[in-house]
A and B are shown apart, each in its own frame.
Chain A
Amino acid sequence: MEQRLANTWRMTVNEKKFIETALHSDLRIDGRRPFDYRELTVKFGREDGSSEVQLGLTHVMGFVSSQLVQPYRDRPNEGTLSVYTELSPMADPSFEAGRPTESAVELGRVIDRGLRESRAVDTESLCVVSGKFVWSIRIDLHILDNGGNLVDAANIAALAALLTFRRPECSLGGEDGQEVIVHPPEVIDPTHFEEGVMGGRLTATLNANGDVCAIQKAGGDGVMQSVIMQCLRIASVKAADITAKIRKAVDSYNTERALSKIRRQPASVAVQVTEPNQIEVKDFLSKHKEKLMLKSEEGGASHSDDMEIEAQSSEQDKSRRRDSTSKSFVGGPLSWDPYSKGVDFEELQASIASRVKVAPVEKLEKSRSDEPYKGESPKLLADSSTSLLSDEKAATGLQIEKEKTLKDAVKPKHKRKKKASTNTDAS
């Protein structure tokens, strides 16, 4: 144990003085201005839910996995989200394997709180069978290299991994949080040298709308209120910036992934075609990448309080869902457009909690869903008793026979289309 302490990295007095004096004249040792972020790169691994983030010299990997568990008794409809951060000894010689140090615990808690409070993951949509089975999402963050500002890098890694994670039934939407680490004189995104010098640290988690989700300031020097307000203002700017970067990376990854999965579409796909939707298809084809501010009928019909909470991402998500539901009506012209598959995958990032009635058993199955779950869905549908679902049951009964003849890729479109039509009927 003593040997470990003897090996920890200590800063010399010279280094400390140098950094402090430089900061007083707004100079940082790597040439950045006080409020500049280091270069951020987000990369994705081969499977869903794995991301690798590099923020300057800091290197963090995130993995998301899911498991079916029993829910808590007082929350039978909600799934769980847990964040595990591991300060691997790889990152820094002073990190030890085994028992996490208090900074590791703090890091984990800050990220956990940020994701939870901002409702980045809609826990209600993680419910499979109310009271019996819910999905438990586990995020593992591995810190590979400590170059300073672990909180930000780890948060971005967690978000990127969540955004690309696909459960067998449904995928997750993401809010974007942004954290600012400052120390007097205020500086953002410190390197580990600056971290060794800093007197205090303030971490603010904001979402893309500028709402503050969490603030953490654990000890350290006291700061004036005006300083805190200034930090929050800076943070909101950076939040938008970083959110855009993450989204761009996720989008390009998704289209890449979708392009590699183009399957042949059969000639006639549509079982039911409704006229009004067809007209809008062409518009969506050209604009599917932009944010469309639409009010869809589905949203109006089954609006729930969950919608308010996710107001930030819901508009975009609803519009995207609309994209794919209308797309699915037209089999022919879409079959050759590579982007159609891309948006389908993205569309499923929408949280399905807006359809509360249907939520517990709604299966937005993707073409990559596992075989056992396909078998499960008719069973679960049979379990439910709402009138809405009995319609669906009949419909899916038809579809199941179809599934055997049509390719997998077609099935999700059928399901979504059925739900859209039944929902519009209901509303």
Chain B
Amino acid sequence: MEIDRGDGRKPNQLRPVACSRGILNRAHGSASWSQGETKVLAAVYGPKAGTKKNENPEKACFEVIWKPKTGQIGKPEKECEMILKRTLQSICLLNVHPNTTTSIIIQVVNDDGGLLPCAINAACAALVDAGIPLKHLAAAICCSLAKNGRVLLDPNKSEEQNMKGFVYLAFPNSIQSVLPEGSLQVGGEPVEHGIITSVTHGAMSVDDYLLCLQRGRAACEKLSVFIRSSLK
């Protein structure tokens, strides 16, 4: 049974992705990432001296500022900031620059569904552009569960609103390494199967969630190939 998506995509087909780096002059690193109509601009300044209060001075600190397109900054923006901060903290090498603050500023240019994954991808690209040391990149995707149980990848805004639930997932980039096979495994599974971030909206059963995870992982592998080629 084929679902008819609004823009004619197949259930496992992502929207066209575009990424460009180095677009701003003052920022140390900048990138713009667009998936379909959703477009996000990210800028990185850092590392700067000193950490905030209550932050561990032995490690680098991250500060995320999320700017919505219009309107005041409210709770949803703060939530996105926090999620992004935790995601980026887990992919960056924190011990290289202790007692510093790196600021990441996200500007939403257009929101057509899948905003948080788009922002995660843009932030990673901007970090690469700024030269901040990272363990690996994060590739993020949105998987949604339709009312009849099918999993659709990368929904746009109208699709998102009609879904039973959707989940934003971020996986590590697939790793091309010089080390021998097997040393990158954690507990029997390859590293790239670990989930960095998962944010769900709406209710879904456990099986559906696991199905989404599977699909998301596969999609992120494709996405990480794209990231690698575009960030060279």
Contact = CB atoms under 8 A, between A and B. Distances in A.
Interface of A: 2-3, 6-7, 45-47, 50, 57, 59, 61, 63, 65, 86, 88-93, 97, 138, 140, 142, 144-147
B158 interface: no
A142 B67 contact: yes
A7 B100 CA distance: 12
Given A59-B24, A93-B26, A142 B107 contact: yes
Contacts of B41: 90, 144
Interface string B99-114: 0010101010110000
A140 B30 CA distance: 21
B27 interface: yes
Interface of B: 24-27, 30, 37, 41, 43, 45, 48-50, 65, 67, 69-71, 101, 103, 105, 107, 109-110
Contacts of A146: 26
A29 to B, nearest CB: 15
B167 to A, nearest CB: 27
* Chain B interface main SS type: strand
11 contacts: A45-B110, A47-B110, A86-B67, A90-B24, A90-B27, A90-B41, A93-B45, A142-B107, A144-B24, A144-B41, A145-B27
A146 B50 CA distance: 24
Contacts of B27: 90, 145
Q: Which of A61, A65, A92, A145 has the most chain B CB within a 10 Å cutoff?
A: A145
A142 to B, nearest CB: 6
Given A3-B50, A45-B110, A90-B43, A145 B24 contact: yes
Contact of B70 (A6, A140, A147): A140
B163 to A, nearest CB: 23
Given A138-B70, A144-B24, A88 B105 contact: yes
A61 B32 CA distance: 14
B65 A147 contact: no
Nearest to A145: B24
Given A7-B49, A90-B43, A145 B26 contact: yes
B26 A89 contact: no
Contacts of A61: 107, 109
Given A3-B48, A88-B107, A57 B67 contact: no
Contacts of A65: 70
Nearest to A146: B26
Contacts of B65: 88-89, 97
B39 to A, nearest CB: 8
B107 A63 contact: no
Contacts of B24: 59, 90, 144-145
B61 to A, nearest CB: 11
A7 to B, nearest CB: 5
B111 to A, nearest CB: 11
A377 B49 CA distance: 59
A65 B67 CA distance: 16
Contacts of A140: 69-71
A90 B101 CA distance: 15
Nearest to A139: B70
A195 to B, nearest CB: 13
Contact of A91 (B26, B101, B110): B26
Nearest to B105: A90
A46 B110 CA distance: 9
A97 B69 CA distance: 15
A91 B27 CA distance: 7
Contact of A147 (B26, B43, B48): B26
A92 B67 CA distance: 15
A39 to B, nearest CB: 14
A46 B69 CA distance: 13
Contact of A89 (B49, B70, B103, B110): B103
Nearest to B106: A90
A3 B107 contact: no
A57 B136 CA distance: 32
A145 to B, nearest CB: 5
A50 B109 CA distance: 9
A65 B111 CA distance: 14
A140 B68 CA distance: 10
A177 to B, nearest CB: 22
Contact of A92 (B26, B49, B69): B26
Contacts of A90: 24, 27, 30, 41, 43, 67, 105, 107
A312 B25 CA distance: 38
B105 A57 contact: no
B109 A45 contact: yes
A271 B65 CA distance: 57
Contacts of A86: 67
Contacts of B49: 3, 6-7
Contacts of B50: 2-3, 6
Nearest to A4: B48
